[in-house]
Structure 1
Amino acid sequence: MKSDDAAGNFEDLVDRTADESLSAEEFRALEQDILEDPEKRKAYLKMAWLCGELSWSLRDDASFDPLANVQAEHSFEDKLELRRSRPAAWNSAISAFAGAAAVVILLYLGGFLKLTPPQVADATSNQTAADNVKPSKSRSNAKRREKTTPPAATLTGLVDCHWGDSVAPPTYGEPLDPGRRLDLRSGLAKLTFESGAQLILQGPSNFLVESSMDGSMDTGKLSAVVPVQAHGFKVSTPTAKVVDLGTEFGLEVDDRGDTEVHVFDGEVLTWPVDAKGEPTEEALSLLKDEAALIRHGQTLEQSSAKAHHFVRDISARLDEASLPPLPIVEKLQVWWAADVLVKKDPVDRVIAWRDILVGDNQSDEDAWQPDEESRPLWVEDAIGGQPGLRFDGSRNFMITTPFMTTPEQTVFIVFQRKDAETRVETKRQLIYYNGPPFDIPRTRRTFSILQIDDGREQGRYRAFCYAGLDQPRMHAKVGGVQMKTAIAENEPIVLAYVYDPAANRAEMWVNNKSQGTSNAPACEPFVSRKIVGRHPLEFTHFCGDIGEMLIYNSALAPEDVAQVNAYLGDKYSVPLIPSEPANVD
């Protein structure tokens, strides 16, 4: 029987192979353990096979189901079926060959997982699929991890709001927990739910936040935009229940509880209900431009939708003349720039970094920080004479409400790093794609948990995508590319990263110079919060300034990357380097 201490030491050594922090002596001890102990060798073989299967078996499989990961709470299960079928994640034939595959994988991976002793990294080498397959780290930062339960919704917009006196009035950017009642006497208030659904309340309205997938309105008026991942979002009134099927609709409830439902786009299902909330009729399907009046448990009449009776957008928008001249706007998902639409508190700490809406980007994906002490500082002259958000390296970060990420991704970040007063050893994160509640399914197809940080080598930034497994302490990193050399403190950088599953290619550019390429296995879309300036599970933060960040739900072509690099380089006075095509790894 092996002792717990011995087993823990073995796991610790395996963990640290991922960090490239083993001494030569520790490496020899690990190698000896694997050679002499059949149980440890079996565990290592299993890890090698799983990680190898992750990296290779899916690299050319680009199929996906955009609803595969969506799980929502629903009522009326016997009346409404919203789930989609998906193929099984594992081919049953794989298990039959697991033993043989493990041996083959071990032999193939031996050169980088077990048989290569610690050595000084070659500054010109790129990360490949081989050195991206690593067991997960749970050692040094386990005690620093913070458990965060996300709210049901966030208050993401306010226009001339006056609230009832029963509770403290909600504030801009405030998280809203289940059970929070909003008594809006006048004005407009926008709620963004964790599911991605967005509501605009028009005062006077009385609304109860029930969960990320439903709410109830006693009186008042609202408009709703419900994206595909929030199919099944439900609003209850005294006389009706309305279930959305991915659409835009309006709802009005008068003082008697009578309910009008207006569909602006897509489809909703609505049921008249009795005083106990039980359906009294079969569901009524309403399509685009249709409306219905429901009173006392029955549908009285159907008519045409009156879209002009509802306020449908209160997003902060720049007029066309004020929009910055970004050269590529197709498939743009997020655009944050520190020189426009930044919401600050009285001491220039950033409450909200608001999304610039242009082109295909018409849903505002703002980044928030309701906690005063965690807000980055807005600095007027940060990078090349342009404003930036200054992160202190110890507490500051921003976080978005959830939005959809597709398998294809392009990210641009304009930043400059600084040395923090209290230095952290690793994971100084620029951006991370899986914020609280960190519940993206850990399957072999969930590759796109993209992150950009400088790992253990300060200033030498890397971009990669995380793939988790159901098995504990195991993960793989794919699409990994790292800067060839570390950047200096206060050196302005335009970083670009493209993840392109169709071409099985990931590439990073620094100031328009390619840093190399890696593989880019196929993956699934998913919905999550994005975190700027901090690792989501550990107290490790970026220290420095960020001037601009763009996210595209597409893999931009190299010539398009060059255009955006040129725009950002000119804006922030960053000298760019002519880029030569990189060799595919």
Structure 2
Amino acid sequence: KLTARVGAVEGKGSSSKVQGSRSTSLTTSHQPLATNSNPQSLIPNPLFAIRTPTAIVTDLGTEFGVEVSEEGTTTSHVFRGSVKVLVLDADGNLPSPSGRGAGGEGSGREVILGENESVRVQHDKDAEDRLVVVRGPADTASFVRAGQLAQVVEERRRLGPLRRWQTFSEELRKRDDLLAYYDFQPDEKDRTVLRNRAATGAALDGRIENAPWVSGRFPDKHALQFGRPGSGVRVNIPVECKQLTVAAWVKLDRLPTAAEGLAGLLMSDGWSRNDSFTGRIAWQMRYDGRIFFTLDNWNDNTISWSVLDNARVLDHWRHLAVVYVYDPEASRVAFYLDGEHVGEGDMTALAHPTMAATIGPATIGAWDSRGAVADANDNRRLHGAIDEMMIFSAALSPEEIRRLFERGVASAVEKGAATATEKKGEQPMNGP
């Protein structure tokens, strides 16, 4: 049997799972080896031969490893039994019948390796048209052994979503219009800080209050659990935005009760009846499952637009997004669920004047009312988890919102489990 670091093969009596970087670098006595990256292969078949750009390695009844570099250097290591290594010529061809000389010095040379022996066939440093055989220890830890295959497959299955998300996350951070980005991954040095990964940096970091870390929407992704008294993430985003997009991955344990009324996703502190600070926002969910976006314009604090009328969002990760565009004549709000546009409204039709949005001091997962309302739910706690939130100083298009959802989606999302209907009209509230 063969444990290899490149290639993939299916042949008589063979089974394999292999990866590597050279799709045409190997052939076998059965058929070509197809390769992609990070090789792993197990091929139980005696007298099995594998051909690389510089050598042919023949199984004499053994377990051995083969690695081929980008330059074609072949490294062979025997774990058990023995193998025969035949050196090819400098062009990767079989040696001539005359043996050494016609194919370059070393061409046609055969080396028999026993247990725990290694050899490397490479181009001579002083003459690229000549191959040389170098004995020495191989990095055996880098080979995937027979007993490790199941573990490797499971590890890659488990880490696949996380790695895809990490690639997306790194790309996202480069956007110039990304005002704040909270990836909800713990900071190793201080787990009470929710790091802002956008270019705006530590100034917009959040402070976690009484919200424990929990599992996120796929393995090794984290989230914060909200709902305890005093739970939330305190942030301060003192930037005026004529265009604003907020998106988050949310999993609800339950909706607020009718007595509780509302649950905050991202809520600016206080409300205008207490001070002159206007333009702050309230992004929240009501007891009937409808989503609200409210803009505090000082003259009228009941500007809200509701589009989601479906409570079947519990226990599933959902991608929620809201887009606000300020225009003196027609300020608009659009709502999205799992990448789909589900409704929008004209805020200027509800109250005047509208204005740019300024989040300012705010809480994720709750609300600091600062006495703006005198009721039992002046903190508007969210009962559920959030594992990612991004804030843009731009109005993302429906296509961009869709891409955010698709790049962040994982198997935890049950697409289509919730539906949304557009509800037009003002929704009066006491405060935001």
TM-score, normalization by structure 1: 0.37
Larger gyration radius, structure 1 or structure 2: 2
Which of the pair is proportionally richer in helix?
A: 1
